[in-house]
Amino acid sequence: MSGSLQDRRNWTRSLTIVVVVAAVAVILAYFIPESPAETDRKYLRNTAGAVLFDHGAHNEMADSCAVCHHSLYSSVQATTCEDCHGEDMGAEDFSHDELKEIHGTDCSQCHEQIADDDQAASCRQCHPAVQQSETSLIGCMECHDDDSYSPDIMDHDEYLEIEEHTCLGCHAPGSLSEVYHTSCTNCHLENSPEQFTEADGEVLCAACHLR
């Protein structure tokens, strides 16, 4: 009889310990803050309604990071044509615009990625809130006092070969709103018109802008 009583006491003591440990674990879990779940979504605040942007999904759909983050790549050619195509093919055989039109092209296949920029450049770094110029090009006379300078003095590839050139030296960046609406809208209408347009074909703002 005494053995049975002792077994019951041991079982009761064990059960009590389990219950106490479980209660402590529940209490601690309640007070310890949860680590936020990792996500690749960006919440972009906007006066027209914030935009929840899924960077991961767009990254999978785009042919290259440079489709949006064109400032990530320098004009320095990291890979020669011969490295992939043999000695009978060189960059002079194609114009830059022709190369960009190749389906699935990736700027990093030819160009060096800017080493000191580990993070993708924000559009805001180059694109102002308000358009600064009526034209997308900066006149040559802004920098040169010789009126013989004109945009057609060289072709675009020759401009890219100028040491320490910058795109912003010649191009006036569009406003942030213009860039977003042009780039995002054109791609949406081309790839998913049923999701991003009204029944009459007009752009559906609410498909991106949260209310």
The pLDDT assigned to 104 comes to 64
Q: What is the pLDDT of residues 102-148, one digit of tens each?
A: 766 677 778 777 665 556 667 877 788 877 767 778 888 888 888 88
Q: What is the pLDDT of residues 4-33, one digit of tens each?
A: 666 666 667 777 787 777 777 777 776 676
pTM of the shown model:
0.53
Domain boundaries, the chain: 1-34, 70-119
How is the chain classified by DSSP, letter by letter?
A: -HHHHHHHHHHHHHHHHHHHHHHHHHHHHHHSPPPPPP--EEEE--TT--EEEEHHHHHHHSS-GGGT-GGGEEEEE-S-HHHHH-TT--GGGS-HHHHHTSTT--GGGTEEEPTT--SPPPGGGTS-SS---SSSB--GGGT---TT--GGGS-HHHHHTSTT--GGGTB-PPPHHHHHHHHHHHHHHHH-HHHHB-TTS-B-GGGTB--
